[in-house]
A = this chain, B = another copy of it.
Amino acid sequence: MQHNPKKINSELNPNVSVDCVIFGFDLEQLTVLLIDRGEISSAFGPRMALPGNLIYDNENLDMAANRVLDELTGLKNIYLEQVGAFGDPDRIHKESDREWLKSIRAEPEARVITVAYFTLVPMSDYKPQASSFAKNADWIPVSEIKELAFDHFEILQAAKEKLKQKIKIQPIGFNLLPEKFTLSQLHRLYESILDKPLDKRNFRRKIQKLDILTSLREKQRGVPHKPSLLYEFNEEKYQELTQTGFDNFGF
């Protein structure tokens, strides 16, 4: 095991990486942006992995996570929160992962601690191109993910749990929706994050009482049923609310 060749100005730190759980919402269910590692690894284990990389010695952890996100999607200024550090000595050294690591890391045998983040992306802001720089990324519904490379499945579960807890305390879900959205979409979003059904009327009552939605005088168009009113998230009212202090949605 070797470490840290001294830094000139900015080298990759071989011992610390960040991994990003990039959440999206397709207006039906929660999804995650995963990297397809391709055939090479498929003989051994799961093809899909979380996007992530080693950090540079001159950037802090949040910067590294933003960089990973930016390099993959081109997105900046995205809601981002740390999930925690994962550091089992053998977390990346399963037989099925070794080969792939050799192809992408200078020191594939190094012991790497990873710091996991989750980010919330309006899904329409990023459409994966087939093979953007050899990175084949795809939005995968969370409910369909059964396994991932390395310890990434464990990380994903921790991220889901963190999101679940957080959304009970702060209305961060808006970061997953387009600017204009319907209450039904918001409703489905909460159901898919909390992973349980919520009564429609009670949900609407509770959300409306927060008074952080601006009702637009505009309806959905082209839907084969009664069109829904559209709403916007009201940032200012939300700020007021957090000042005066509120803690709990209680879903």
A residues in contact (CB < 8 Å) with B: 1, 3-4, 6-7, 11, 13-16, 55, 57-61, 82, 84-89, 107, 109-111, 113, 115, 165, 169, 248, 250
* A64 to B, closest residue via Cβ: B87
From known contacts A55-B87, A85-B82, A87-B55, infer whether A16 and B113 are also in contact, taking CB-CB under 8 Å: yes
B85 engages A84 (CB within 8 Å): yes
Contacts of A82 in B (CB 8 A): 84-85
Question: A84-B84, A85-B82 are contacts. A57–B250 as well, Cβ < 8 Å?
Answer: no
Bound: A64/B232 CA distance, A: 47
User: Please, which residue of chain B has its CB at the minimum distance from the CB of A110?
Assistant: B4
A88: B residues at CB distance < 8 A = 60
Please give 5 more A-B residue pairs, beta carbons under 8 A apart, in addition to A4-B110, A13-B15, A113-B113. Answer: A4-B15, A15-B16, A16-B16, A58-B89, A84-B85
How far is the CB of A121 from the nearest CB of chain B, in Å?
22
Q: A13-B15, A248-B248 are in contact. Are A87 and B61 (CB under 8 A)?
A: yes
A87 and B16 form a contact (CB under 8 A): yes
- A114, closest chain B residue (CB): B85
Residue of B nearest to A59 (CB): B89
CA–CA, A6 and B86, complex, Å: 20
5 smallest CB-CB distances across A and B, nearest first, come from A61-B87, A85-B85, A15-B15, A85-B115, A60-B88
Contact A111 B248 (CB under 8 A): no
B contact residues around A169 at 8 Å (CB): 165
With beta carbons under 8 angstroms apart, the residue of B57, B87, B89, B109 that contacts A111 is: B57
